[in-house]
Homo-oligomer: A and B are copies of this chain.
Amino acid sequence: MQSAELSKASTIYPQQRFLHTSFHAGSFWARWRHVAYNSTIPAQLSMLKRTGRYRAFDLQWQEYYTAPKKVWPVPEHFAWDSDIGKFVEGVCYFLHEHPNPELRAEVDYLVDLVINAQQPDGYLGIHYTVVEPGKRWTNIRDMHELYNMGHLMEAAVAHKQLTGQDKFVRCILRLVDHLCSVFGREEGKLQGYCGHPEIELALLRLFNATGETKCLDLAEFFLTERGQENGRFYTEEQAHRGEHPQVQPDMFLKPRSYWYMSAQQPIVDTETIEGHAVRALYLYVAAADLGTTPLSTKHKDITDSAWRLWRNMSTAKTAVTGGVGSIYQTEGFALNYQLFNSVDEGGSYNETCASIAQLMLADRLQLVHGLEAIKIGDVAERVLYNSSVTTGMSLDGSAFTYENPVASCEGFPGKRHQWFDVCCCPPNVLRTLGILGGYMWSPLANGERGIAIHHPFAGDIEHRDLRVSMETDYPFNGAIRLRICGSGSVKIRIPGWACEAKLPEKPGADGYLTLAAGTHRVDFAIRPRLIYSHPYTRDDHLTLAVGPLVYCLEDVDNPFEKFHFKHLTIHESILDHLEPMLSPDGVTFYRAAGQGRQMLLPSSEELTLTELEHDVQLSEERLDLVFIPYYYRANRAGGHGQYRVGLKRRHIY
């Protein structure tokens, strides 16, 4: 296979489709991408330089390498390789649209540094070359060695796609050769897999970009080996290090709790999604990928597992914002329906990277299952607009969130940060915005000609001889004007919430409306609605949503609040009292005059037990409320970072 051709022609990956997608200037997503290019890239480049990462592949000693470990056993720099990888990858995507020679030079510099860091035997990695040479592959459970390489693989594919140059991919293929000599079921090889999945999906991208079957074979090995005999590999690896069996990393809740990294059992036997959310999701992205990868037809059970675990996650483990992962210590999933609102309730971690991984998995599953699985797009939409790129980055592109609780609490106000010690999220947001167009649509599955638009946007799609142009103010307005030229079907997803959509005809059973060439108007009829808590979550909350956006209250607009809106109640009839207000930057807020009443709770001095002897009393005072999109929080001066999404439901007006 001619890999360059394959890569250009194919639209299997959003990393390919984004090249066929453009956003109209000034539109919702164009503004996010504009900010990412103009602010985020320079800001992150400057942080990479300030923190030692930028030059780390020169393999010189840095003072950072001896910093005390905050999370045993990993040193602070353990994932630097991946930070460089994701940044290079992200910048490459933006350089397609903005051929900026200065920025291109930075990419070339970093790529050459990486290539030159490759060891004679093909090994590539900072820590085990500079800090602990001779200790390679002694702790793949914790040290992210293969994870880092996976991100370099993704960067190499992006670099080749941008430049047409083979050098980085060739370096990476030498690395794959090396990995094949280290890992496998043959005598003398390591029968192991990385504690943090990533290399599996990267190897499949590399296979699809190069046609090198060794990449597929190695990915299949990692995916089928994982979790065998309850993760025995890690137990033995620990023994080989000479560690007592009860020695445990800080992230584990118990010794040998390999469910933390989805390695407690093989993928095909796993019934519920557990542990560290990003690890689980990257793993299942690769599992789903096997279903769309040519030459890989023998793993339907693995691909089916990805779907099963997606369903478990979406229906039982997803916050109303789309975020996933309640537990702080594991950055991971809790029990089914165990969704807390805030840190003081038990956790509401909802890592930005986890939601980015949800977008990746939704995309893979849509390709595998076609549009039969009609609800994928509804979930992906929730994530796209509320818990991933918009929430993870400030409006000005300079600050980020790692965790995204659905409510603040004492000690955990809403806040954004320029950088993090372990800095996975910021470059992940960058690279996702880079390929954003690719997530908006995909080619129809099963050989059908045409495309499915999962998320409407103001912009254009070109696919083979199809041209689709959309005019819309989505997500604030549900009216969309589509102009379609060329042959093939264009399907557009009608969101589950759009019950009153004005459509030229009824959508199909798959939830998509099929349109032919010509000009069409559809209107999703966006209006405020309320989302109700699933009773198993124990909350009785009402959440305001408008179209794809979930709304919250923030104390910037509601300065009366002192208890993080934990005492505030609203009644269902609030829907009759909402008035839209346009913010200076064109975002729709909603005002609800006199619709809030505070619960009057006894002080702990008045309590005898953790209960009330009488029904909760409510304030007579009726408070004016202003709702803003959840992603919009922690972006303005004023307030003390108090915010909340779901509000206690009041059953009397």
Residues of A within 8 A of B (CB): 72-73, 243-244, 246-250, 253-255, 311, 314-320, 322, 329, 334-339, 341, 344-346, 375, 378-379, 382, 496-497, 531-540, 543, 566-567, 572, 599, 601, 604, 607-616, 648, 651
Contact = CB atoms under 8 A, between A and B. Distances in A.
Contacts of A531: 611-613
A253 B248 CA distance: 10
Contacts of A613: 496-497, 531-532
B610 A337 contact: yes
Given A247-B246, A248-B246, A651-B651, A609 B346 contact: no
25 contacts: A72-B246, A72-B255, A244-B244, A246-B250, A253-B329, A254-B329, A314-B609, A315-B608, A317-B610, A320-B610, A320-B611, A334-B346, A335-B344, A335-B346, A337-B610, A338-B345, A532-B611, A532-B613, A532-B614, A533-B611, A535-B599, A535-B601, A535-B648, A537-B538, A540-B540
B250 A249 contact: no
B534 A610 contact: yes
Listed residue (A246, A338, A612) with the most chain B CB atoms within 10 angstroms of its CB? A246
B250 A255 contact: yes
A43 B497 CA distance: 62
A598 to B, nearest CB: 11
Given A311-B604, A378-B608, A536-B601, 8 more contacts: A248-B255, A316-B610, A320-B609, A334-B346, A337-B345, A341-B538, A532-B612, A534-B601
Contacts of A532: 611-616
Q: Tell me how many chains of this kind the complex includes.
A: 2
A336 B342 CA distance: 13
Q: Report the 6 A-B pairs with minimum CB-CB distance, sorted nearest first.
A: A651-B651, A532-B612, A315-B607, A375-B608, A538-B538, A246-B247
Nearest to A253: B253
Contacts of A537: 538, 610
A338 B538 CA distance: 12
A128 to B, nearest CB: 21
Contacts of A566: 535-536
Given A244-B247, A246-B248, A538-B539, A609 B336 contact: no
B379 A608 contact: yes
A567 B536 CA distance: 9
Nearest to A612: B532
Where chain A touches its partner, the secondary structure class is loop
B329 A336 contact: no
Contact of A335 (B337, B345, B382): B345
A297 to B, nearest CB: 27
Contacts of A609: 314-315, 318, 320, 322, 378-379, 382
A315 B615 contact: no
Contacts of A601: 534-536
Given A246-B248, A320-B611, A346 B344 contact: no
A254 to B, nearest CB: 6
A246 B311 CA distance: 36
Contacts of A608: 314-315, 375, 378-379, 496
B244 A345 contact: no
Contacts of A378: 608-609
A72 B246 CA distance: 8
A423 to B, nearest CB: 23
A254 B253 CA distance: 6
B610 A318 contact: yes
A539 B611 CA distance: 10
B338 A346 contact: yes
Given A607-B315, A611-B534, A247 B250 contact: no
A550 to B, nearest CB: 10
Contacts of A316: 604, 610
Listed residue (A248, A335, A531, A608) with the most chain B CB atoms within 10 angstroms of its CB? A608
Contacts of A534: 601, 607, 610-612
Contact of A73 (B246, B320, B615, B616): B246
A572 B246 contact: no
A599 B250 CA distance: 41
Listed residue (A72, A314, A538) with the most chain B CB atoms within 10 angstroms of its CB? A538
Nearest to A601: B535
Listed residue (A379, A539, A604, A609) with the most chain B CB atoms within 10 angstroms of its CB? A609
A460 to B, nearest CB: 29
